[in-house]
Amino acid sequence: MNIIIQASYFIAAALFILGLKQMSSPVTARRGIVWAGAGMVLATLVTFFIPEIIDSDHVSTNLTLIVVAIAVGGGFAWFSGKKVAMTDMPQMIAMYNGMGGGAAATIAAVELLKATREVEAGLASSIPDALGADVTVLAILGALIGTISFSGSIIAWAKLDGRLNTSKLLPKQHFINAIVAIATIGFAVSVYLAGDLTPIIIFFALALILGVFITVPVGGADMPVIISLFNALTGLAVGFEGYVLGNAAMIIAGIVVGSAGSLLTQLMATAMNRSVLNVFFAGVGTGTVAVTDGEQGEMKEIQGQDAGILMAFASQVVIIPGYGMAVAQAQHKVWELTQLLTAKGVMVKFAIHPVAGRMPGHMNVLLAEAGVPYDMIYDMDDINADFKNTTVTLIIGANDVVNPSAKTDTSSPLYGMPILDAMDSDNVIVIKRGRGAGFSGVENPLFFADNTKMLFGDGQKATNELIQAVKEL
């Protein structure tokens, strides 16, 4: 039986890896999700036959708890997954990241408590004696990382969902974080050495607080990076706890998720020309600023009818989507506009910045949902040189990813961040609900540029005006 279980775990791990590989391309992403899901189903079914479960004196209780956990967790995931709006998808991802980290931390807590009982019963002299020194170290590390990921992800969810005011930071927040981190590490060492319950409780409590405190100062504009980082931490914690349990599938899956998440985090930080540490400490997006006419010039408004005519007679149109498109659920209207322009001989392309939206790949998911072909969607590096040949760039709900301050203003918190060079187009049309400065709270000089016109209004309503204008020609 053990050979069958280990072989099944190996197959499940292989499916995880193959599925993740398929997810690297929008063309095969759906297939990758199915493969990874099949691997998870296999790994879950095999759990019912693990000797520690079926050979236990409490086999009926064990199996009942497993079934109840699967029913509750699976039922909630199915219901919430069907119900969630695309605008709330980042919140769901953040929440699920947190649940994974919390599960890993719980495994560590159970193993540490079991070892503590052995020490109290005189069966072992210390926790490392009961579990093994290497297992104890990885259990504590997994507990620390998983707990931080859990509480930090909850804060990320609260920020993204508008339930937490990001401008309310504690005085000397980073200094407090350092103190809490030192205390948490100190109690982690105490857990290893002491072998009783009190240090374990304090350790987990401090780790929870640390996850909250290190996430609170992070600016709203950096949330995509933080979500990716917590995903990586969750994977790492799962891998550590897989070693603690001797579960090959958990080890491989955790390492794969951890490495993929780490790579994505680094790529996103690089796309912002910032380090991961800077993301935690800079606080970009913790305030809000209104864009006002003044020193930079005045915004020039355009009506939907005029904008539609300009686009219809363009040789090339580049569309840059942002979170505003997601909020307005305008992706289907944008695709309808694209089809009309294409029918009139206009070359239409979509430009995606690596950190557009509120999570990695957010805009790609929205456009795929609307049916936009993958070959019309271009990454920043592939399309930036093409803006000089573009008649009209339509920006719908994006702000920071097209802000020229990132190139010209050394005092801007966005300075050095690679952007989509929309300003190089002959004409720029910006669809915005109002005069707000975007998620980072940084003013955008593009809105005042001579070649920029503002089309104020809800993304879906404004896009519909463009559609009607093109249809009437």
Catalytic residues: 400
Parallel, antiparallel or unpaired: strands 452-456 and 427-432: parallel
